[in-house]
Structures are given as C-alpha cells and as structure tokens.
Amino acid sequence: MTSGVLQISLDQPFQDQKPGTSGLRKSSRQFETPHYLESFIEAILRTVPGIAGGTLVVGGDGRYGNRRAIDVIARMAAAHGVARIITTTGGILSTPAASNLIRQHQATAGIILSASHNPGGPDGDFGVKVNGANGGPAPESLTDAIYACSKQLNGYRIWDAVTVPLDQPGQQQIGALQVQVIDGVDDYITLMQKLFDFDRISDLLRGDYPIAFDAMHAVTGPYAKRLLEGLLGAPAGSVRNGTPLEDFGGGHPDPNLTYAHELADLLLHGDGFRFGAACDGDGDRNMILGQRCFVNPSDSLAVLTANATLVPGYSEGLAGVARSMPTSAAADVVAQQLGIPCFETPTGWKFFGNLLDAGRITLCGEESFGTGSNHIREKDGLWAVLFWLNILASRREPVSQIMAEHWSRYGRHYYSRHDYEAIASDAAHGLYDRVKTMQPALVGQAFGGRSIATADDFAYTDPVDGSLTSGQGLRLLLDDGSRVVLRLSGTGTQGATLRVYLESYVPPSGNLAQDPQQALGALITAIDGLAEIKARTGMDRPTVIT
C-alpha cells in the first residue's frame, strides 16, 4: 500500500445512501455522522469508470460542510489513484460552472457539493451530486450502481490528514494526486461571452434600466457581480445578497415567490425596477420577474424558444426543445410553429443529457425554475438571466408586453404548482397510492367541469438509448387538454413533499388576462376532492404556490 493511505473499516455499511432526483441529500448532521460522507464518496470512486488516472472537478455552493467535503474527497481521491483534482478558490463552484469545467478539462467526472435549493447550515441540509464526463448529472444506471456499492461497503481508503488550502489559486500534491485550485468564475464568464451580445445588454443596463438580482447569499453572488455589475455595467447594488454564506443567511435559497418574496415584492408591488431575477443555492435555477409581472418558468422556456434567434449563440435556430412532463406545454406550441421537435421527459435534468449529446435538442427546461441549453449539461440560472436580458435589449419592450404578445400569438397555458412540504410520509404515500389505484376507473368521469380522458402513471422511453423509466407521476389528462399531475418530491429531506401541477390552455381568442389561481380554480377544487389533499395532509393550503 502507498504510504499515507489509511484503510478504514466500517462495522456496518450504510443502507440509506440512495440518490434522489438530483444527488444524495441529507441533513448536515447526518453527513457529519462518522464515515457517512466517506462511505458515499468511496462508492462513487469505486463505481464511476476511469477514476484511476482520471481527472475530477470538485466544488460546491459554499454551504456548511463544503470545505470539509473537498478535503475528504481530495484525500480519498489520492488513495484511489486519481491523477488530478480541479477545485476552486473558496471551494465556490456553481453547478453550471462545474458542468462547464468538466467539459473544458475533459474530466472523468465531477462531484458537486450542494443540496441545491434546500436550506444550509449545521441545522440545514447537505448534498453530493455526481456528474459524468459529458458534464451532466449521472444517469440512473450509474446512481443505482453507486447506491448498490454503498450498501455493501466494508471500508474505505483515505490519505492521512491533509488540508487543501483554498484561499487562492495554486497547486498541491497529495501523493501522486495533483490538486489544482483555480478561479471558479473565469471559465464560466468566457462561455457566457461567447453566447450573448454583451455590448447590447450593456447598452441597456447603462441606460435607465434598473435591475435587481438576488443571489440569496448563495453561490451565484460572485458570478453575478462580475457579470452584471462588472462587465455589463449595472449599477453597484444591483446584485443583492451577493456574498455566499454557509447558512445562506438563514434563508431558504429557493427562487420562488415564497422564498424570494423580498425580490418579488420589489418587482410586483413597486416600480423601482424593470427586471428582477434570482437563483438558487447552487446557481442552476432562475426566477424571472418584470415590472409588475411574474414569468412562470414554463412560459419562460417558451419565450426563450420563440426568441432564440435574437441571441448570438442561437441565431441559427434550434434543433429541438425538451421539457419535463409536469412543465406546461407552452414550449410545445412554439416548437410546433417553428417546425422543430419537442420532447417530454421525466423530472430531473439527467433525462435531457442524451437528447443534448445526440444533438436532438438545443434548449430545455423544467417548471421548477430550470432552463438551459446545449452549452453545458446542467440547467443554468445566470444563463437564463442573460438570455432574458439579451431579448430585452433587442426588443426594448417591457417584460409584461413580451408576455402579452407571446400569449396573443400562441395562446396561454395557465399553470400553477402547489407544494405541500414536509408532510408525514405515511399520509403522502397513502394519498398517492390511493389515487394510483383509483386511476383505471377514473377515465370518463367528470372532473372540474371537464371529463377525464386519460389517467396514468408517466413512463418514459429514452429515444436515444431506449432505457425505460417508470413511476414518474400520476397524470389526469382532461378532454379539453387541461391536466393535473401528482408527484412526490425526490429532493426533500423531511417527511414527504407532495407536488400538484395544474394546467389549462386558453387559445389566442380566449381570455388571456386571468389570475392563474382563478383560471385553475375548478381544477384545484376537483383534485382536492378526488385526492383528499387537505384531509389527508392536515394542511389548509399549500406551503408554496407557484
């Protein structure tokens, strides 16, 4: 054995290291249980092909536990014959920037330390995401193999105590492993400069065009300051909460109307700003706001699709688009008019990877504030912000007008997601299983003034590799094209979270100016009656309404 390598035995392997929708997420306390983090890293290092002699990109969103995890990964990588680790100053690396670095450096894999939009700190959550050589989230075949490995581990290998100094760029050697610390922002900015018209956006922002970007004390602060206030000339202070903190300042770094309400209030109830945006903990989500206008994420994907040729990186048009199943069909209508394919995938970015790699799509998105393109293999919060700014700089119309014109051309998909967070696991599964059992008998029944045309559990056959993924959400498709979907979250760490997705289409000739909660009112009442949501969860109203 190489000197410096310790072999640590485990009395019992951990049985609960199953990655969810996006990586392994548990409480910080659980990750501090002796050997817990090390066990999962060992399972990764044993399972991912090409680790010995390979390159790993490692970094995170700066939450509590980030630096300790980088040390552990470096020491374990040294003990497994990894040739090189690329990490970043302060260990700060957004998920999209990590995806880019993996691709730029032709790394074997990446390990991203983040529980994304979940709160952080000693009492919050921690997470580990694994990405493959294409820069995207590991497919289920790989995460299943990592999980299987973790359940049988009897020990792990780690280099004796070393600390990786992360305060400035530099190099260090741990045995045969080279650890490179680079600036985690530089390469990402270079990539953005290739895609967007910085001069045009800068013209807009240097004029009378106040914007507010909320980094939620999470990873995008340093990126947004360099991009928006530095290169693009937005006034100092345009980036709010721009310093990453280990506990995100006690907040919940989830850019939606509930958890980013300070920003939402500024835009929706005031006239001081023309454009507002926020990103989540690890920088892959985005929320877009205009003056007195909220852009729902499904609509955002449709607007980007319809306006893509205004942006230099997409001026030649799109090969196709994709959206996750619960995302509204707003992008489908645009794709149809453009004559390009539109794919419907299960929830989670990993399902876009094959379509992107095969060149079948250029843009993709999810209703959960995720949008992205073939520039990397993750959703990308600041990319979406720049895309919107580029459109605004070209069209010189308010966000609300862009939305109104979009709906008057393509019709409007009234859409909302209701989340019931941290409910008792038994109650959630009871409710879900009951609806699933009822499904076959629901076809033909009345529902919210319509009738149920199809009731099923969504399954997906990947058009590129033929793999089948089932059990992806209970759908009620109604005879007028409306639909309601129920899903249980795969990212929460407390109890269960029930998500109810509601959608109803109104053509250009219909009433395009309704409040979504009212437009969807009959569906909301009907699903509560059918699924007994209030009675079974004991909650009067959802925790979060988008």
By annotation, the residues acting in catalysis are 116
Q: Of residues 214, 280, 299, 380, which one binds ligand VG1 by CB under 6 A? A: 280
CB of 133 to Co ion, least distance (A): 21
Q: Of residues 305, 491, 504, 537, which one binds ligand VG1 by CB under 6 A? A: 491
CB closer to ligand VG1, 249 vs 490: 490
Which of the choices ligand VG1, Co ion, none does residue 131 contact, using the CB cut-off of 5 to 8 A by kind? none
Which of the choices ligand VG1, Co ion, none does residue 22 contact, using the CB cut-off of 5 to 8 A by kind? ligand VG1
CB closer to Co ion, 61 vs 229: 61
490 binds ligand VG1 (CB under 6 A): yes
Q: Which of 65, 69, 96 is nearest to 85 (CA)?
A: 69
Which of the choices Co ion, ligand VG1, none does residue 366 contact, using the CB cut-off of 5 to 8 A by kind? ligand VG1
Which of the choices ligand VG1, Co ion, none does residue 348 contact, using the CB cut-off of 5 to 8 A by kind? ligand VG1
CB of 19 to ligand VG1, least distance (A): 11
CB of 382 to Co ion, least distance (A): 12
CB closer to ligand VG1, 131 vs 291: 131
The three-state secondary structure class of 123 is coil
**Beta pairing, strands 155-159 & 5-9:** antiparallel
d(CA 524, CA 517): 8
CB closer to ligand VG1, 183 vs 462: 462
The 8-class DSSP code of residue 520 comes to T
DSSP codes joined into one string, 453-474 = EEEEE--EE-TTT--EE----E
Site for Co ion in 92-131 (CB under 5 A): 116
The three-state secondary structure class of 298 is helix
Site for ligand VG1 in 43-82 (CB under 6 A): none
Residue 198: its H or E element: helix 198-206
Choices 43-51, 346-354, 463-471, 473-481; region in contact with ligand VG1 by CB under 6 A: 346-354
The structure tokens listed for 415 are 């859409």
What's at 505, amino acid-wise?
A: Y
CB of 140 to ligand VG1, least distance (A): 13
Q: Which of 367, 379, 356, 301 is nearest to 94 (CA)?
A: 379
Alpha-carbon distance values, 513 to 192, 270, 415, 509, 516 (Å): 35, 20, 13, 11, 9
Residue 444: half-sphere exposure toward Cβ, Cα within 13 Å: 2
Q: Of residues 63, 80, 84, 117, which one binds ligand VG1 by CB under 6 A? A: 117
The residue at minimum Cβ distance from Co ion is 116
Task: Report residue 546 CA to chain centroid gap.
Answer: 16
Which of the choices ligand VG1, Co ion, none does residue 21 contact, using the CB cut-off of 5 to 8 A by kind? ligand VG1
Alpha-carbon distance values, 372 to 70, 108, 284, 500 (Å): 27, 22, 9, 24
The three-state secondary structure class of 111 is strand
CB of 100 to Co ion, least distance (A): 15
d(CA 345, CA 327): 10
280 binds Co ion (CB under 5 A): yes
CB of 219 to Co ion, least distance (A): 9
Alpha-carbon distance values, 458 to 218, 305, 326, 470 (Å): 34, 25, 10, 6
CB closer to ligand VG1, 205 vs 428: 428
The structure tokens listed for 25 are 């997420």
Q: Which residues contact 518 (CB under 8 A, 6 or more apart)?
A: none
Q: Of residues 55, 241, 296, 347, which one binds ligand VG1 by CB under 6 A? A: 347
Q: Of residues 254, 282, 299, 419, which one binds Co ion by CB under 5 A? A: 282
CB of 254 to ligand VG1, least distance (A): 8
DSSP codes joined into one string, 478-541 = ETTS-EEEEEE-SS--SSEEEEEEEEEEE-TTS-----HHHHTHHHHHHHHHHHTHHHHH--SS
Q: Which residues bind Co ion (CB under 5 A)?
A: 116, 280, 282, 284
Q: Which residues bind ligand VG1 (CB under 6 A)?
A: 21-22, 116-117, 280, 284-285, 324, 347-349, 366, 368, 370, 489-491, 499
